[in-house]
Structures are given as C-alpha cells and as structure tokens.
Amino acid sequence: MTEAYGLSSRQSDVLAALVQNGTIREAARGLDISYTATRNAVAELKQKLGVATVPMMIGLVLDLASDHFPTVAPARQHDLFSLTERQYAIARSTGIAKSRQEIAATLGLSESVIDAELKEIHLVLGARSAGELVRIVAALGINPSEGGITNFSPLDHGHDLPIATIDRTGRNIGYSDFGPADASPVLILHSTITSRPPPTRLVAALQQAGFRPIAIDRPGFGDSDMAESDDPYGPAADDVSAVCAALGVTQIDVIARGSGQAAVRLAQIYPGLVRRTVLVNPTPRVDFTKTDRGPLGAVKRSFARRPWAVSVMIRTLAAYATPHRIYEGMLRSFRESAPDEALVRDDPQFTADYLRATRGFAQGRIAGYVAEQSAWGAGYDVTAMPGMTDWRIVQGQHFILHDPVDAIKYWRDLLPDTPVHWIEDAGQMLAYSHPDAVADALRR
C-alpha cells in the first residue's frame, strides 16, 4: 500500500498507528510524536488516499487487508456482539461514508435514528471514537480459525468470546474455553445478573498467570437450556461436570462472581473435581443482611418479599434493557460506590464487557435468573464447609448490593477456615476493576 499510494515512511507510520489506535491523539502518543505533527501527516494522508475522514482512512486499510483472512459466516457477524442487523449496517457504513447524513441517506433512515443507534453501538462495542468503531467492525469479519468462531480474536480489542456447546440429556449447554489447552483450567462462574461472558481483563490476567479460563452458562442463562430442579445449583454442577468430561478436564479451580452458593454446591456434589476456589463479593442469604443499598439492592429486597413476582418484574425490566438504559442504570446504581461509578464513566472496556454479559436478558433469556432469584428470595441456603483453607474470599470494601461486613459474617459461618482478602479501593465490580487481585488470590 505504501508504494501504491506513494506514502513516505512517516506517513506509513502514522497510518499504521491510526489503524492500531483509532484516533489521531492516541496515534501520536503511540509514535511518541506531537499531536500537531500527526495531524499534519493525517491531512496529507487524506489527500493521497482520497478519503475525507479518519474512519474512512482506517476502513480503507482494513478493507484492503481483509482479503488475507477468511470471514465469519454473515449470520454470525453482527450476532457475535448482539448488534441488530440495522446497527451492524450503520456501524459498517461509518468507515465508508463522510457523515451521518450520508449514512442516513444510504440506509434510508432519519439522522435522529442514526444518532440514537450509534450511541447504542458505541456502548455495546466499547468504542470511544468513530475510528475505533471502524476497527472493531472490520474485525467482526476476520476469523483466522477454520472451525467456526472459536478463538475469534478481533484485533487487539479483547472482545473474543469462544462459542461452543454440548448436548447433555437433550439439553444444550453453552460454554467458552479461552485456552491455552495445556494450562491449568479454571472455571469462571458468572453472577446471577449476567451470563457467561467474563471480564476481558480477568481472562487476560488468568492466562498470564498460567491458567486456562473456562466459562459455562448455568441452566436458563445465555446458551444453556433450562433444567427443572428444586436445587437451583444442582443441575449447574452436573453441567460443569459434563463440560469438564468433554474437555478432558479431571480437576478444575473455580472463581465465583457473586453466586458463592453455586461454587459451594459444585464442590459438595463433585468434591473430587473442584480444587482451589475464589469467591468474589459472594452474596449472603437473604435474611442475613438487612442493609441493601442502591436500586439493585432495593430490587433484590423486593424479590425477597415477593418471590412470586420475580418473573413479572424481570420481564418488565428486560423489555426496556437497551444498552443505553443499562448504562444509565449502572450510573444510578453505583452512586454510593466511587470505584464502581468511575469504572462505568471512564472505562469503555468494562461497559462493553458488562453489556455483552447482560445482553441475553434483553433478548428474553431470563429463566435461570428467575429460578435463582426465586430461590434466593425464599431463603435458599447451602450447608457449611469447614476446613477449606485453600479457598479464598475476595471482598470489595465499597460493595453496595449488601453491607459487606454483614455479608462476610455470613460467609465466615459457612466457610470458617477460609481466609478473607479485603480490597479497599474496589466495589461491586471487583472482578472487572481488580483482575490481578482475583488471579493472585487463586495462586495463593
């Protein structure tokens, strides 16, 4: 491309930095040159390449590069990050149109619709600029593996979610194996309000520490079919055993986010399968703590008073769960937790991760949530497990859903010999904000 368009070495470097970073300012920082010099080089590049905007420039480069890669099946491209077909069309148009007016005219939509959809698209993909959006969308069509979308890795953005399923007694179980295959396996249990997509940085921290992260949807969440049972976590434990058998895993460490009871039941039902376990901000029994702060705490307390209303309430909430509403709801929920509020406001990677993990609820996949919340509201509990000295509890000081001190009192009764590590500058989203602390707790 350098020779074809007559680019100088400086122009080629700037162009590569733009593709890598998405914005002029980030490109300048990456090259360690001034913003003014980078902006001047960009102006020259626009003239030589015949494009009007930075996103169009990035789109041109990625389009020329796309011939070197096989593509994901069209039906899965936009579905991978739960974009609607219209959102995917708008996102793709960003790299080939000069303005929102052009996008609107091309797609036959109003500019107000384009504006509204772009806000949702940026939230879902965690894109901070139009240039970064073009990079991510171009990456949706790149898949180096031949076996579908397993190990799909869109550039360096980190939104990879390997997708796999197994059939167990007529039920579909969805899981993701992030690899590498020769590393020590660790199961990341999702919280009650999310499905299996784990925090991107937690996956990276675990892999760097020598682990092989595996995530499984519990029954009624994400890609896993519902299983009827009086014990909300019994069938989930059976599913973990089945996936481990399919992967040839004979023992596995566990990280549980929120739903500590799920980890306890897994260890009680399959004691030979579970090794070390880390509970991150584990939830107490409903009647153990009387303090529930913020909107999320109020909703959970309402479930406790009216277990029969869980299904109606969550269906109503899910019907309005657009990415923008979820984002605004998180800001309201975390007003009393400075670390969590800062995470929502300042970290687009967190927002993208969390929206991806909660997207199933907006699509009506709520059966697992209803079952677990109904059991929790009715006072579900697990039996104590003394002697678990190789387990760890990691608790954020700013946890807002329940009073953290009361919550730990509950878990000290259940796991009297398990050490507790307090993270002073962490809140409810500890697994997203402090992934290294979680990985370190597992290694200890």
pLDDT of residue 223: 92
Q: How far apart are the first and last CA of the chain?
A: 50
pLDDT of residue 180: 93
Pick the CATH number of 164-443 from 3.30.530.20, 3.40.50.1100, 3.40.190.10, 3.40.50.1820: 3.40.50.1820
Contact by Cβ (8 Å): 269, 383: no
The domain locations on the chain are 164-443
- Spatial separation of the C-alpha atoms in residues 394 and 249, rounded to whole Å: 26
- Spatial separation of the C-alpha atoms in residues 158 and 347, rounded to whole Å: 14
* Residue 62: partners with Cβ closer than 8 Å, 6 or more residues away: 19, 95, 134, 135, 138, 139
* Residue 356: partners with Cβ closer than 8 Å, 6 or more residues away: 81, 82, 124, 159, 161, 197
* Residue 82: partners with Cβ closer than 8 Å, 6 or more residues away: 124, 356, 359, 363
pLDDT of residue 302: 58
CA atoms within 13 A on the CB side of 94: 29
pLDDT of residue 149: 27
Amino acid at 241: S
**73's tokens:** 């099946």
How many Cβ atoms are within 10 Å of 62's Cβ, its own excluded? Answer: 19
pTM of the model: 0.70
pLDDT of residue 69: 36
Residue by residue, pLDDT tens for the chain (444 residues) are 555 567 888 888 888 888 777 788 888 988 889 989 998 998 888 888 777 777 777 767 765 554 433 333 333 444 445 667 788 788 878 877 778 888 888 888 888 889 888 888 888 777 778 877 877 776 554 333 333 222 323 333 445 678 889 998 899 999 999 999 999 999 999 998 899 999 999 999 999 999 999 999 999 999 999 998 989 999 999 999 999 999 999 999 999 998 899 999 999 999 999 999 999 999 888 776 665 555 455 555 555 555 555 565 566 566 656 777 778 778 878 888 899 999 998 888 888 888 888 878 767 788 888 888 888 877 889 999 999 999 999 999 998 878 899 899 999 999 999 999 999 999 999 999 999 999 999 987
Contact by Cβ (8 Å): 10, 41: yes
Amino acid at 389: T
pLDDT of residue 275: 95
